[in-house]
Structure 1
Amino acid sequence: MTLPRPTRTEKLDLRLTPSAKRTLQTAAKAARKSVGDFVVESALSEAEERLADRRIFSLDEDGWRRFVEALDAPPRRLPRLERLFREPSLFDPQT
C-alpha cells in the first residue's frame, strides 16, 4: 500500500545553465523520477543533513544532568592530539 502524496502548493523557480539542466534531467531519468521529484528529494536530503546538528533534542532528568556535567567538566588531556598540533602540517607555510 502506498501512502498518499501530500499536495504541493508552493513553487520554487530556478535559473540553470543548460549544462546543469541536462545533468539534472539525466540523473532524474537514471533514478526513474521526474526532474521535479528528483530535485526536491535531493535538495531536501541535503537540507536535512546540513540541519541535523541543529535539531531539537530532549533528555530526561538524569540525561540532562549527565549532559550538563559533561559540558561543565574540564577538558581531558589528549596527548596524541596535542602532539598532532605541535607537528608541522602540510598546510603550514614552508620555511
Structure 2
Amino acid sequence: MPVANHSKSERIDVRASTPVKVLLQEAARAAHKNVSEFLLEAGINAANQTLADRLRFVLTPDQWGAFQAALDRPVVSKPKLKQLLSEPGLLG
C-alpha cells in the first residue's frame, strides 16, 4: 500500500548503538541518501511488506475459484500435523 507524498511534519526519534549508527550511515552513504531518507524509505518498505498479506491480496478469477474451492472442501484429519502442533516449539 503506497504512502502518499505528504509534507513531513512529524518527527520520529530512534536510539541506536554506535555500531548500528555507523552501519546506517555507511548504508545511507552507499545509497546516496542521508540517514533520515534511508531509514524512512526502509521503514516504509518494511511496513508495506509486513501489512501487505494482512490487509489484502489480489487473485485472478481462476485463482479466486481455486481459493473458494479449497475453502469449501471438507476438513481432512491430519494426525501428524495435530501431533506437531501439540508439541512445544523452539520458543517453548
- Relative to the length of structure 1, the TM-score reads 0.59
2:36 matched to which residue of 1?
A: 36
Structure 2 unaligned blocks of 5 or more:
81-92
Q: Which amino acid aligns with 1:56?
A: R
Q: What is the CA RMSD across the aligned residues, in angstroms?
A: 3.3
Question: Greater CA deviation, 45-54 or 21-30?
Answer: 45-54
Structure 1 unaligned blocks of 5 or more:
77-81, 83-95
If asked which structure has higher relative contact order (CA below 8 Å, sep 6+), I would say: 2
Tell me the CA shift for residue 46 of structure 1. Answer: 1.3
Question: Which digits, 9 at most, give the CA deviation of each residue in 1:12-55, with x for residues without a partner?
Answer: 10111011100000000000001000001111111111112112
Q: Which amino acid aligns with 2:22?
A: R
- Relative to the length of structure 2, the TM-score reads 0.61
1:86 matched to which residue of 2?
A: none
Structure 1 residues 49 and 18, CA, compared in 2 at 3 Å: closer, same or farther?
Answer: same
The alignment covers a number of residue pairs equal to: 76
